[in-house]
C-alpha cells in the first residue's frame, strides 16, 4: 500500500473543471515534485489534499486512512504557502510554537529550540518577521510546519519569491532538512531546478 493515494479526483470551481479524474501515489518518506504550467491545478491539488478545498469525486488515502472528507485539523498535514504566511505580530519563537498548544511549556521550548537548531537559526527566537531576510522567513515557516510533526508536508512554490542565488542555497538546505527528518513531502513548482530536491518528478497535464 502506498503512503499517499490520490485516486481519480476531480474538482470544479464554479463551472470550471480544474482537476479532471487525476491520480497519483507516493511512498513514505518520499520527496515528490509535481511540475506543470501555471494554472494547471498544482496548487489546487495541494489544497485538496490538505482539506482547504473539497473534492467533487474521487478519494484521498493517507497512511491507509481515507481522509477524503476528514476535517483539516485532523489530517495532520503541514502546508507551507508561497508567501511564508508568518504572523507579523509574533516573534520567531511564537511563530514556530503556534501549533504546539497541547505541549507543556518546557516541551514547547524544547521543540522550538530543536527546530531552530535544525534550520540553523539559534538565537533568533525574539526576532520578528520584519527583521528577517527572505531566506530566514522561509526557514522559520518550514520549522513551524515541521514542529507539529505532520505525516505529510506540502510545499507550494517554496522558492518563488526569492532571488536566484538564495533559491540555490535554500534548495540544498531544504533537501538536507527533509531527508534528516524523513518526512513525506510534495513540492509543487513550475521551476525545473527545484527537481534537484525531489526523489521523483511527475508532470501534471
**Quick one: what percent of the chain has pLDDT higher than 90?**
67
pLDDT at residue number 84: 65
In degrees and rounded to multiples of 5, residue 103 shows phi and psi of: -90, 155
pLDDT digits (tens, 9 = 90+) for 48-98: 999 999 999 999 999 999 999 999 989 999 998 766 679 999 999 999 999
User: Stretch 13-27: mean pLDDT, rounded?
Assistant: 94
If one counts every other C-beta atom within 10 angstroms of the C-beta of residue 64, the result is: 9
User: Could you give the angle at the alpha carbon of 30 between the alpha carbons of 29 and 32, nearest 5°?
Assistant: 145
More confident residue, 162 or 5: 5
pLDDT digits (tens, 9 = 90+) for 138-194: 889 989 989 989 999 999 988 777 778 778 888 888 888 899 899 999 999 988 889
In angstroms, what CA-CA distances link 156 with 12, 21, 47, 116, 126? 20, 21, 10, 22, 27
pLDDT digits (tens, 9 = 90+) for 99-143: 898 899 999 999 999 999 988 899 999 999 999 988 899 889 989
**Quick one: what percent of the chain has pLDDT higher than 70?**
98
Amino acid at each position: 500500500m502506498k503512503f499517499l493515494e490520490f485516486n481519480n479526483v476531480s474538482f470544479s470551481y464554479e463551472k470550471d473543471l480544474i482537476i479532471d479524474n487525476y491520480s497519483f501515489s507516493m511512498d513514505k518518506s518520499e520527496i515528490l515534485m509535481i511540475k506543470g504550467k501555471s494554472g494547471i491545478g498544482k496548487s489546487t491539488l495541494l489544497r485538496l489534499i490538505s482539506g482547504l478545498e473539497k473534492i467533487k469525486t474521487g478519494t484521498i488515502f493517507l497512511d491507509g486512512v481515507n481522509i477524503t472528507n476528514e476535517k483539516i485539523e485532523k489530517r495532520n498535514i503541514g502546508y507551507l504557502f508561497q508567501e511564508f504566511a508568518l504572523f507579523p505580530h509574533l516573534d520567531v519563537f511564537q511563530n514556530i510554537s503556534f501549533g504546539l498548544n497541547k505541549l507543556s511549556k518546557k516541551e514547547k521550548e524544547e521543540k522550538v529550540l530543536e527546530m531552530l537548531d535544525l534550520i540553523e537559526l539559534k538565537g533568533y527566537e525574539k526576532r520578528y518577521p520584519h527583521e528577517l531576510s527572505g531566506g530566514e522567513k522561509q526557514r522559520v515557516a518550514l520549522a513551524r510546519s515541521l514542529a507539529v510533526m505532520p505525516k505529510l508536508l506540502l510545499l507550494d512554490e517554496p522558492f518563488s519569491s526569492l532571488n536566484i542565488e538564495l533559491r540555490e542555497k535554500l534548495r540544498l538546505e531544504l533537501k538536507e532538512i527533509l531527508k534528516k527528518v524523513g518526512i513525506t513531502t510534495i513540492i509543487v513548482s513550475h521551476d525545473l531546478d527545484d527537481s534537484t530536491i525531489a526523489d521523483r518528478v511527475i508532470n501534471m497535464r
